Amino acid sequence: MADPLPTPRRQVTGVQRPGRPARGRPRCSHGRDDRHPDDRYLAIVVGLAVLTTIVPTIYTEQAWLPVVVPGTALVVAGLGAWTSRVLRRHEGAPVRATTAILARILAPPILLVGVALPLRQAMGLVVVPRLEDLADPSIDGVARAAVLAAMLVLSVCSAPLVWLFRHWPRVVGAVPLVVLLVMSTGLMHVEMVAAPAVSALVTYGTAWFLGVARQEGTLGAVRAWKVAAGASLLVAAGMGWTQFHRDPVLGADVTRTPIAAALIGTGLVLVVLRIRAAEASRAQSVRISGLIARRLVTVYLWLGWSATVVMTARSLLAMRVGLDPGGGPGVDVALALVCTAVPVVVLGAAEAFLARRALQRSTQPSE
């Protein structure tokens, strides 16, 4: 019996033959094998959310961008979608997936709080106050601690939480929403000191689950009118909470009412994540938008660390040359650009290198 026709070489490129190593250099796909057509929309949303979060803080004393959607909640929703992809990619290896997630999320704050800030304070350096806000966790410490705690809890418990969500999506996804609504009715009494932390944890937990639901396809299966009704209920509850708890001096202010901001932000995130792309995007546009979104998230995670390192170097230079540590508006903008460029160029290249090494190790044949 004649041998079957050989398979064309182009179809088996990258496939390892028995007894021979795989040809060619494995390329890092960054999860492109499990993406769907509207990943470009989610990448653009996360990128814009990062910009509306970090740009007003860096370049101006007051926010000049019209922040329509809550930036931090959408970034956490993107974290939830990315977590779902990582767990799907490491199916059957939850420890490895959790380690990868923790390395991505916790490396920046650990280096910032444990290394950079103590070293700068020990040296007694003077920095520009505006950029100091980026590197000082004591400013608005409750809110920043709540964000970090939410990311820590969600990252550590990501594998069991996603497993529970895949089996009981409605029950698990509704828990943080119910907590928010109960808090808005006043049935759950929260002290004023702990209210921002609790509302932030619940808000970011809800956004994280919404990101997982979008990636898993659960959110897309819900009818649009149900999503619109739920979002309207959340926004109405937030506005009502603002009116009933108005400040005697400032009046009704959503930004100073954590529970109201949590309710309104969750409703807006729900609507934004429910929107789907009208048509399938080309693979090249998905790749480019995903790359931009990953670089922006890198800036978001490493901005405090980058600002501390850059300002430390500038303070040392000012001490030697005799420059004014305060500088001026032009110096502030230039330093902000440098602080932004460091995570984009240096850390982005390091992340790409580590991702390629991880892919090479995973494709090497086991002896």
Q: What pLDDT shows up at residue 60?
A: 46
| pLDDT tens digit at each of 367 positions of the chain | 444 444 444 444 444 444 444 444 444 444 444 445 457 788 888 888 877 777 655 554 443 333 344 777 888 888 888 888 888 888 888 888 888 888 777 777 777 777 766 776 676 654 444 444 444 444 455 566 666 777 777 888 888 888 888 888 888 888 887 877 776 666 566 555 555 566 667 778 888 888 888 888 888 888 888 888 988 888 888 888 777 777 666 666 666 677 777 788 888 888 888 887 544 455 566 677 777 777 777 777 777 777 777 777 666 666 665 555 555 556 666 766 777 777 777 776 776 676 667 666 656 655 5
Its pTM stands at 0.70
Q: What pLDDT is attached to residue 281?
A: 52
How far is Cα 87 from Cα 216, in angstroms, rounded to an integer? Answer: 11
User: Is 280 within a domain?
Assistant: yes
Short-list 200, 175, 270, 258, CA closest to 231: 270
Q: Is residue 16 part of a domain?
A: no
pLDDT for the residue 186: 62
pLDDT (0 to 100) of residue 99? 83
Give the whole-angstrom CA distance, residue 163 versus residue 85. Answer: 13
Q: Is 293 a domain residue?
A: yes
Alpha-carbon torsion angle 339, 341, 346, 350, nearest 10: 100
Cα(299)–Cα(306) distance, integer angstroms: 9
Within 8 A by CB and 6+ apart from 56, the residues are 62, 63, 64, 65, 67
- Answer for the pair 199, 262: CB distance below 8 angstroms, yes or no: yes
> Does residue 157 belong to any structural domain of this protein?
yes
Please state, in angstroms and rounded to a whole number, the distance separating the CA atoms of residues 292 and 303.
16
Neighbours of 143 (CB within 10 A): 15
For 235, phi then psi, to 5°, come to -65, -40
Q: Measure the N-to-C terminal CA separation of the chain; round to a whole number of Å.
A: 35
DSSP states of 131-179 as a string? HHHHH-TTTTHHHHHHHHHHHHHHHHTHHHHHHHHHHSHHHHHHHHHHH
In a domain, 55, yes or no: yes
> C-alpha distances in angstroms, 333 versus 56, 58, 207, 359?
12, 8, 32, 38
* Number of structural domains in the chain: 1
In a domain, 367, yes or no: no
CB atoms within 10 A of CB 312: 18
Contact between residue 363 and residue 29 where contact means Cβ atoms under 8 Å apart: no
CA distances from residue 355 to 89, 305, 361, 366 in whole angstroms, order as listed: 14, 21, 10, 19
Query: Counting beta carbons within 10 angstroms of the beta carbon of residue 228, is it exposed (0 to 12), middle (13 to 18) or buried (19 or more)?
Result: middle
**CA–CA distance, 157 with 355 (Å, rounded to integer):** 23
- Whether 246 is covered by a domain: the verdict is no
Contacts for 254 with CB less than 8 Å, ≥ 6 apart: 238, 239, 242, 260, 261, 264
Q: How far apart are CA 98 and CA 353, in angstroms?
A: 20
165 in Cβ contact with 113 (< 8 Å): no
Residue 131's domain comprises 32-227+263-360
**Residue 103 belongs to a domain:** yes
